[in-house]
Amino acid sequence: GAPKSRRCCSCLGPKSAPFWVGLLTNLGICTLLFAYTLLGSFIFLAIEGGASTMQQKTLASTNRQMKPSPTVRSDNVTFSPAAIQDTLEARQRAVENIWDITVSLNILYRENWTRLAALEIARFQEQLIKRLTDDMAAQGAHQDTGAPSTGAVIVQTTSLGQEYDWTFARAFLYSLTVLTTIGYGTIAPRTTLGRIVTLAYAVLGIPLTLVYLSSTGGVLARVARGFFSR
């Protein structure tokens, strides 16, 4: 009984000092890594969030400049707001009809669903072509008589891609994925400065992450040795 008691006491004595030193060192490195991640979050939020705000201000300024003019003239084809609204409503009806087709088929056969969906899309295309053709003909009649076209707008055909706002949570997640090199979806800087800062941030942060993992491994190995040596 005495030797066992002395052995248990020795676990809390001088032999346990290296373990506590390693644990405190690991906590210090963890705190440093967390602070570095927070720093990266603020940096990326300032860079990418500022760029997003500037883009929104530019779009708002462009919209204000275009709003006073009753007619927008361009080399592109112009359509009236009523035509665009009818087009959007027709598209929504087509989507709802396709969903009804999907729900009505108890067993989803590829051939049946494809045939019915193709018919619905063809019907939507016919409605779209007819409505836009009528609108263009009406505008042509206005131009022939010299009457101004009421509230014509340009149909935008360019796609801006998937837009998302940089929040602190997303900036923190991006910083964490840079340090751990795992990556996450489409979260990535779109500015040149943001990409350059990412490289510099990774050069310093990835070695720090490796040091933390090495320290954690040392602490866990010491715990395992102490547990299995009893």
What sign has the CA pseudo-torsion 203, 209, 213, 214? positive
What pLDDT is recorded for position 196? 92
Instruction: Convert the pLDDT of each residue in 177-220 to its tens digit.
Output: 899 888 766 677 888 898 899 999 999 999 999 999 998 888 88
Question: CA angle at residue 18 from 17 to 19, to 5 degrees?
Answer: 90
**Six token digits for residue 104:** 């009505």
Please name every residue paired with 153 in a beta bridge, in sequence order, or none if there are none.
79
What type of residue is 171?
A
DSSP 15: G
Cα-Cα-Cα-Cα torsion 32, 33, 39, 43, nearest 10 degrees, comes to 150
pLDDT at 32 over 50: yes
Angstrom distance (rounded) from CA 211 to CA 179: 12
Angstrom distance (rounded) from CA 229 to CA 14: 17
What sign has the CA pseudo-torsion 47, 49, 55, 60? negative
Distances (CA, A) of 48 to 54, 75, 162, 187, 199: 10, 34, 15, 11, 15
Instruction: Convert the pLDDT of each residue in 38-50 to its tens digit.
Output: 999 999 999 988 6
Other C-beta atoms closer than 10 Å to the C-beta of 52 total: 17
pTM over 0.75: no
**Six token digits for residue 44:** 């990326």
Count Cβ atoms within 10 A of the Cβ of residue 173 and give its class: 0-12 exposed, 13-18 middle, 19 or more buried: middle
Instruction: Convert the pLDDT of each residue in 122-150 to its tens digit.
Output: 888 888 788 778 877 777 776 655 544 44
pLDDT at 152 over 60: no
